[in-house]
A and B are shown apart, each in its own frame.
Chain A
């Protein structure tokens, strides 16, 4: 899918096909949850990141259905198309943002999403304990969501943040690497 077409489709879906909710409500709920997690795990931020990722993974597996139902997107032919679809349709229709796809690796198997804006992190400040700035990935739920959602379309990916403006970095950047396309395999515990 060409990049402009994806952008147009994304815009259209956002405008016509999506029931909306106040962003502050979501930001407040998510922020409160992260704060609760930090205190639960005594500010062991590695653990917090992991929990957010896991939560995202479960959400991603459900979100993909909603994505297809509302977008009518067809199967992508390659990872570049997938990346465009994620940015211009996926992020657009759920969060009304369009992160930039860039920094492709030479083998075309990994790319970055650069976020100019992030509704989850609006008005957020990380705890000033000298560690959160280095250890916490506040929006880590997104990594899980992508991983979960893509797994449902037979793509195993690894996703992690490499920079976040909340930490004082210049940009917010997520790195996504395709590990493999999964064959149609039976879920392990299913009979």
Chain B
């Protein structure tokens, strides 16, 4: 075990780090005079954090689902995500899980760990600025599900700090 600050600090720094890299790599590839378009940069940062999370998620399933009984259905896997994985990564369970029973799952965390120590004077600005911090966790969710054979898209939003909501839409299921 390690101090949880290690992971928290790594998660926080990952975002500005991804921005720096996206900027630097674009400049390197297309010459020093390129103007980096905001939208493009956002997209690049998103892809980078999502891909990173995806791989971490896959690794987590590989390592931490070994000793449990076989999954019975998709809901069972989602529960594994909400409980075991969430506790492992964010040190608490998902507070609320809703599903329409047709492949859409909505996970709500009322006090999402990475947001626990964030605050800002203007709430609307805060909501815009925390968005990138949801991309890595979205990637983790996709990766975890993929590791169990579920293709899904994941969208996250937050309406009030420190809460966060993740909407999972499964594309195909193998079960």
Contacts and interface: CB of A to CB of B under 8 A. Distances in A.
A40 B25 contact: yes
Contacts of A119: 2
Given A32-B55, A32-B56, A33-B14, A25 B3 contact: no
B3 A19 contact: yes
Interface in B88-147: 88-89, 91
A40 to B, nearest CB: 6
B4 A21 contact: yes
B60 A63 contact: no
B48 A26 contact: no
Identify whether the interface residues of B are mostly helix, strand, loop, or mixed.
helix
A23 interface: yes
Contact of A59 (B10, B25, B63, B89): B10
Interface in A74-107: 93-96
Given A28-B59, A36-B52, A59 B9 contact: yes
Identify whether the interface residues of A are mostly helix, strand, loop, or mixed.
helix
A22 B88 contact: yes
Given A96-B2, A119-B2, A29 B13 contact: no
Interface of A: 14, 18-26, 28-30, 32-33, 35-37, 40, 51, 54-55, 58-59, 62-63, 66, 93-96, 119
Q: Ordered nearest first, which 10 A-B pairs have the shortest CB separation?
A: A21-B4, A20-B1, A19-B4, A94-B3, A28-B59, A32-B55, A23-B2, A21-B7, A18-B3, A59-B9
Given A18-B5, A21-B7, 11 more contacts: A18-B4, A21-B1, A21-B3, A22-B2, A25-B88, A25-B89, A26-B10, A37-B21, A62-B9, A94-B2, A95-B3
